[in-house]
Amino acid sequence: MNDDRAGKFEQLDHGRSGVLGLGTTLRWFRDPLAVMGRLADRQGPVAGFRIGMFPAVLVTGPEEIHEVLVSRAQEFRRARAVTGTLWPALREGLIISEGEVHRTQRAMVAPLFTARRVPKYVDVMATRMQAHLRRWQAAGEVELLAGVQAMMHDVVAGLLIDEPLDEHVDVVDAATRIFDWEMRAMSRPIVAPLNIPTKRNRDFISDLALVRDWAARMIDARRRHPERHDDIVTALLAQRDRDGAPMSEDRLVDEVINLWAAAHETSADAMFWTAYALSRHPGIARRATDEADRVLDGATPTAEDLQQLPYCLQVFKESMRLYPPSPAFLREAAQETRISDYAIAEGTIVFVAPYVMHRSARQYPDPLTFDPDRFAQESARPWERLSYLPFGAGEHVCIGSALALLEGQIFTALLLSGGTLQRIDGDVGMKLTINLRPKREARAVYTPRRRVSTRQLSGIEVGESR
């Protein structure tokens, strides 16, 4: 520990190990969200516990989280249990890479997702979302999570390769199975290693080969004919590192898969919880609908329109506070260190839990109430930067946060202006995989709203029959 006060730091009580600590471990794998909440209530912002024989720490205070992710980040690496599980699919992409590899890749990818650049993606996102919402209406009933997942696959295809999703159905199906395998592997105490040829593992390896081959073909087509394409993969090919070298072929494939995983999985979950929250808060839905009607008048939103939809953005931000798509980040102490006044041994697993912090009365008044006005500009407070972390913080902060906020704002406005979401039966519950997911299906009916856009009349006199 690089601190001359090391001997003065307190030792955390991690509880019983081995068989005596089995109860906590079993409760953790049954309902980690509940266990995290109880630990924080009993021990405060830095809580010790064990998972089996292994000591672990739960961090839920904003200052303490800042230590782990920002000010002392070099002393905490990504947890090897996570990187080892996710490496076969994600490899050296941004999601799990570390050190110089991560810094080099991030410097090359970041220019594609700046706040100045992402507005050019609005038309692709809005057009494809709107098409899926119309399909929901035509279907009569939709399973909400499956609906937003299909929507986001289409949106991501539009952003990455600017091609119709229907032309890549086999790849989408394979990618979905890969992401499901990862979710399952991360939420189970025991998973068969990939070198054991179970059916699930054989399917995963086959699906991964299909997706990597597809990514390589998409890259090659854009390398040979960049003038034919205007998408993220084409832009990625033009990026150079500080020595002027392009990204290697393997790392290009890694990044395409990483961007697909991050943009699809996390965004779909965020949109599910936003739609779910709106279905349970009709007064808030009406207010956001009024704003969307006034600004959009039934039309597809443009980048300019989004500046006039602040409440729709507030709704999405509040959804991510109460239902953060990434409810916990895992780190591992790379050396003997500390968090606040507590000594942390090398190798200790550290759970950084925005989910718990976002629901803490220490940080938010009436924290379990869904209240988008928390994010009204006039009521914004300095502590929000530390106590609101849907995208993480530090050098691993989500590179697509500006894009994700635009996606959520567009989705909220289109969902409300285009129809009415009805009949989500009861509480769907929550479970932690890698992301925050519902425990149960949420079946809904999305019915059209009868209105005519004056934008769409386009030269026809108001009142004239069509």
Burial class (CB in 10 A: 0-12, 13-18, 19+), 408: buried
pLDDT value at position 423?
76
Q: Which residue carries 């919880």 as its tokens? A: 273
pLDDT value at position 392?
95
Tokens of 104: 């080099």
pLDDT value at position 116?
86
pLDDT value at position 128?
98
pLDDT value at position 191?
84
CATH of domain 104-322+398-449: 1.10.630.10
Burial class (CB in 10 A: 0-12, 13-18, 19+), 257: buried
**Domain range summary for the chain, segments of one domain joined by +:** 1-90+327-389, 104-322+398-449
pLDDT value at position 9?
78
pTM score of the predicted model: 0.92
Cα separations in angstroms, 329 against 30, 74, 77, 122, 332: 18, 15, 11, 29, 10
Name the architecture of domain 1-90+327-389. Answer: Orthogonal Bundle (1.10)
Print pLDDT tens along the chain (466 aa): 555 444 567 888 887 555 446 777 788 888 999 999 999 999 999 999 998 888 999 999 999 999 999 999 999 999 998 999 999 999 999 999 999 999 999 999 999 999 888 999 999 999 999 999 999 999 989 999 999 999 999 999 999 999 998 899 999 999 999 999 998 888 777 788 899 999 999 999 999 999 999 999 999 999 999 999 999 999 999 999 999 999 999 999 999 999 999 989 999 999 999 999 999 999 999 999 999 999 999 999 999 999 999 999 999 999 999 999 999 999 999 999 999 999 999 999 999 999 999 999 999 999 999 999 999 975 555 445 789 999 999 999 999 999 999 999 999 999 999 999 987 878 999 999 889 999 999 999 999 986 655 555 554 333 333 2
398 is known to lie in a ligand binding site? yes
Sign of CA dihedral 286, 270, 42, 7: negative
Q: Please give the angle made by the CA atoms of 328, 441 and 131, to the nearest 5 degrees.
A: 95
Shared fold status for 1-90+327-389 and 104-322+398-449 = yes
